[in-house]
Each structure stands twice: as structure tokens, then as C-alpha cells.
Amino acid sequence: MKRRLYVFLLLALFASPILTAFLSNTSTVTYSIIERKVLSNAVSPFPRGPTVNMVTQDSAVIFWRTEDLTNATVRYGLNESVMEIVTNSTLDKDHYVSLNELNMDEKYYYRVISNGTTSPLYHFLTAPADGDEFKMIIIGDNRPSTTDPVQPAEFAQMAQMIVAEQPHIVIMSGDFVLDVSENHADNLLRWEHFTNISDSIGHYAPIYAVLGNHDTGAKTGSLRLEYYFDSFVLYDEPSTYYSFDYAGVHFTMLDSEQLGFEARIIGDQFTWLENDLETTSSEMKFVVIHRPLYPVIHIQDAYNDVPAAEREAVQALYEEHNVSLLITGHDHCFNRLTVNGIVQIISGGGGAPLYNHPTWKGGYYHYVRTNVSASHVNITAIKLDDSVGYNYQLPYTGPIEIEHRIIPSGSTNPVGTLPVILFSEVPAEKYFSWDSDENQTELTGLPNSNGEHTLDVYACNSDSVWSHESFMFIATGGPTTPTTTTTPTTTTPTTTPTGDGAIDPLILFGSLSIAGVVIVVVAVIWFRRKS
């Protein structure tokens, strides 16, 4: 009997850390494996579309284009054979047919007919009830490279992957083509390459877009937005900023490309943004804009280069109205950064040439699968090989995250005399320490010598949980001007960027279990010898 007891205790001893590790690992895997059904992307006989647009809980707009003036019929229904018919007998080339009185959160099949030519059968999902979960795909920066005018193969591949995801809606964060020139025929060709692929997504899900810097003719001195508007069916056209509600989420779509005011949200658009965020009753608010508020690397024309007061005013507005998610592109990577509670993602890996981000820093082609409901947002970057590049869930409940961002030294608004430290939430208490010297409550001063220096940053959240990050800087500029010209050229966090300062409760449980089992074994042996 005693031998069985020892065997049991020994098994428990070995099993405990394994079980702990298993539980610990599985607790961090927050995405779910989705069974994929690859759909045949049926080719339309029409030069554009059909696409499904501006989908609500009970309506949708079907668009398609014909070569000649034709009538327009849409057959649609909840299965492939029983179909309602809507006909527009007015002859036209661009057809917009509204479907109304649809059921909420249903899959509808449809096909379009013009002068006897019939499209293949497509389908789309209507919006679920406010607060219920829906799937949103984000993809940005699919533009061609400067050496090849056709759309990247990576974008074409991800378009198919996105269709297979069967999303409710798709967000495209800008840079669809490589610039708009003064050559009309060339512009038509570039945008046709794009819409050939974007329509293959639009057959199945509504696309909502924002303007990227490469989608305009800014370099010609004129925006030439007609190609952009022609490629999408958006709310509030011809405004380049607009908003809409979907399943209880408020979407604010901004324009970072206003001629002469690039990357800036000022004037009429800022007033409109204030009013838009003020008047929505939605708790969940997403803002979409091409240029990020906090870029990763040498994007010198992003928000780093606008006057600091403007950037702070926009950040303050997002904080005041509890914006849930800021969706951006422009930097060709995937990145997530939280600043004072405002979660920003950069999704710029849609096919345009990648920059020099290492893979661990989001330097991969991807789209973002986002599952959204009133209670959570699950964000997953999906790579070309269908693997997960990154996963993050809202609400975030861990310790304060601390990050340092380099502002490019070549920027027109270059590095100041101090590094930029960003906290994921406003700390209840914080300290800074240069070279393990005394703690400062405000980050001031710089070490008065060239060479390697460390900056330790400590932050405490409202639950009294402390976080700690250590950053390394190389001070340069010569012994006579050591501090004012110091440029942080290297950032080497010596600890894991997230989770520092907090003990995983599962690991704690496992450790206590091991200790308990050891104590019991020792006690049993001691009692046995004693007896």
C-alpha cells in the first residue's frame, strides 16, 4: 500500500510541472483554429463586380458595371434555388441595386443579370445584432513595387485566403496602387489591376477603405481621387472621411492625405472627428486611417513629423472618447502598440515590398483576422502560410506595457534630447533611472558621457502591479557635446516586452504544487523511518 502511495506521489511530482506548463501554454493561446473551406472564386463576366456593399442588419447594395447600357436584375435568397428578384429597368452601365428587408445575421446568395448575361452565384453575410460577434478582416498596403506595375502575387493569394475566411466585413487601410499620374490610361490600368483582385473579395463581403498616400496624385499637385472613388462603393462619397455603424460598433474612417496637410487631422476634419466621436452612442469605437499615430521605423511622413501639439490633440481626443481600436497601415509590417489605453495596430503587410523589420517585429506579409463583439476584440495577424504571426485580445488585463519608440534622426521633427517612452496606460506611479542611478519621477537629463547607457523604467498600475523595462542607448557626439546631441540609435529591451513584473498564476500554482508534493514525500519518509 505504501509503495503505491510513493508511486502516486512520484507521479504527481513529475506530472505537476508538465500539467502546469501545459495549462500555462494553453492559457496564452487565445485564437481558435478555424476549419477552412476553400471557395472557388468564380469569375464574373462583367468588367466590374458584382460586389456587395454597405451591408447592414437588413439591407445591402449590389454594384456591377457593364460594357454597354443595360437593365439590371438581382436574384437573391437564403438558399441557392429560392430567389427573390429585384429589377431596375433604367438603362445604365453602372448598376446599384438595393436589397431591403433582409434577415439579420444570415447568409444570402445572389447573382446579377444584365441583358441576359448572368454572373456566377456569390454570397454575403448580413450584420448580426448589436453587440453580437462578427468577423472583420483588415488588410493594407497591397500596392505594387516601384519596378512592377501589376499587383503583388502576395495580395492575390491573400485575397483568396480572405474569401475563404467568410468575413462579415473587410477594412482596407490604404495604398492600393502605386501613385496616380497625369496619364489617364496608365491610371486606369493600375486601378483595374487592383479592382480585378479587390472585386474577388467584394463578391463576398463589403469593403470599407481609407485613402493611402499612393492612391492620390499628390505628386502631380492634384489629388485625382476619381479612380479611388470609382474603385469602392463607400458611405458619404465624395467625402474622403466618413463614418458608419456595424453591429453596434462605430467606425470612423479618416483621410490622412489632404493635399498640403498630409498625416495631419486638423481644421474641418478635426472638427468633424470631434463631433463624430461625441455623437455616437456606441461603446465600441474603431478609427481607421492610413498613416499611424506611432509608426515603427523610418516613416518620416507619418505622425512623427507633424507638430507635437497636433499629435497630442488627436491622441487626447481618442482618450477622451475611449476609442477602442486605431487601425492604420503605411508601415509595411504588423505592429500593435497601446498608448494611454489607445490600442493602435499597423497592418501594412498586404503585398507591397516589406521594409527591414525583423520577423519578430512584424516584418511579414499578412492580413488581420479580427473577431469583434461588445465584450471583446480578438486580433490575429495571419501570414501567407496561414500561420499566426501575432495574437492580442481586448480587453487587456495584464501589467502596464512600457515601450520606447525611435523617431528617425532624419525626420524633420527629429529626436529630441530625451527618448520617447510610451506607457500602455497612465501609470499610478512611475520612475526612471539612468545607469542604475537614483530614480526620477520625471524623465529628465541624460548621462554626461558618450558610450553605452541604460535607462530603467518602472510603472505601477491601479492594481499596484509593477512593470519594468530596461533600454540601452549609445550616446554619441563627442566629449564636448555629450548630452544635447545624443541620439538613441539602439533599443535593446533586456527583458520581455510584455508581462514583466507579473507572476503567471498558473506557474505560481505549479510551483506551490511541487513544493507541496515534496513536503508530503519527505513527511511520509520521515514518519516511516520514525515508525
Query: Closest CB to Fe ion among 141 and 500?
Result: 141
Closest CB to Fe ion among 215 and 456? Answer: 215
Distance CA 317, CA 299 (A): 23
Residue 47 in contact with residue 231, Cβ under 8 Å? no
Q: Quote the least distance from Cβ 160 to Fe ion, whole Å.
A: 24
Q: Peptide bond preceding 144: is omega within 30 degrees of 0, i.e. cis? A: no
CB of 204 to Fe ion, least distance (A): 26
* Residue 212 or 447 having the CB closest to Fe ion: 212
Residue (65 or 143) nearer to Fe ion, CB: 143
Task: Give the three-state DSSP class for 413.
Answer: coil
Nearer to Fe ion, 95 or 330 (CB): 330
E-strand stretches of 373-527: 377-383, 388-394, 402-405, 420-423, 429-434, 451-460, 466-475
Q: What is the closest distance, in whole angstroms, from the C-beta atom of residue 352 to Fe ion in the complex?
A: 8
Output the smallest distance, CB 438 to Fe ion, in A.
43
Instruction: State in angstroms the smallest separation of the CB of 449 from Fe ion.
Output: 40
The residue (of 329 and 419) whose beta carbon lies closer to Fe ion is: 329
Cα end-to-end span (Å), the chain: 16
Distance CA 293, CA 288 (A): 11
Q: Is there a contact between 135 and 370 (Cβ–Cβ < 8 Å)? A: yes
Hey, which residues does 394 pair with through a beta bridge? Answer: 377
CB of 273 to Fe ion, least distance (A): 20
CB nearer Fe ion, residue 299 or residue 459: 299
Under 8 Å CB-to-CB from 351, ≥6 apart: which residues? 141, 142, 143, 151, 152, 153, 154, 155, 156, 158, 365
What amino acid occupies position 443?
L
Provide, rounded to whole angstroms, the least separation between the CB of residue 219 and Fe ion: 13
Nearer to Fe ion, 63 or 241 (CB): 241
For residue 231, give the C-alpha cell. Answer: 474603385
Q: Which of 451, 438, 455, 348 is nearest to 404 (CA)?
A: 455
Q: How many CA atoms lie within 13 A of 46 on its CB side?
A: 29
Least separation, in Å, of the C-beta of 346 and Fe ion? 11
To the nearest 10°, report the CA torsion of 241, 247, 248, 252: -10
Q: Quick one: 213 or 216, whose CB is closer to Fe ion?
A: 213
One-character DSSP codes across 147-162: S--SPPHHHHHHHHHH
Q: What is the dihedral of CA 433, 400, 349, 49, to 10 degrees?
A: -150
Give the residues across from 94 on adjacent strands: 65
Rounded to a whole number of angstroms, the minimum distance from the CB of residue 256 to Fe ion is 9
Which three-class secondary structure state does DSSP give residue 324?
coil
Instruction: Give the nearest distance from C-beta 332 to Fe ion in angstroms.
Output: 9
Rounded to a whole number of angstroms, the minimum distance from the CB of residue 215 to Fe ion is 9
Specify the amino acid at residue 420. V
Q: Which is nearer to Fe ion, 126 or 213 (CB)?
A: 213
Task: Return d(Cα 67, Cα 65) in angstroms, integer.
Answer: 7
Q: Which amino acid is at 336?
A: R
Which of these, 41, 61, 65, 117, lies nearest to 231 by C-alpha position? Answer: 65
Residue 316 grid coordinates: 487626447
Separation CA 104–CA 23 (nearest Å): 38
Q: Which residues of this chain interact with Fe ion, rule CB under 5 A?
A: 175, 212-213, 330
Nearer to Fe ion, 48 or 330 (CB): 330
For Fe ion, which residue has the nearest CB?
330
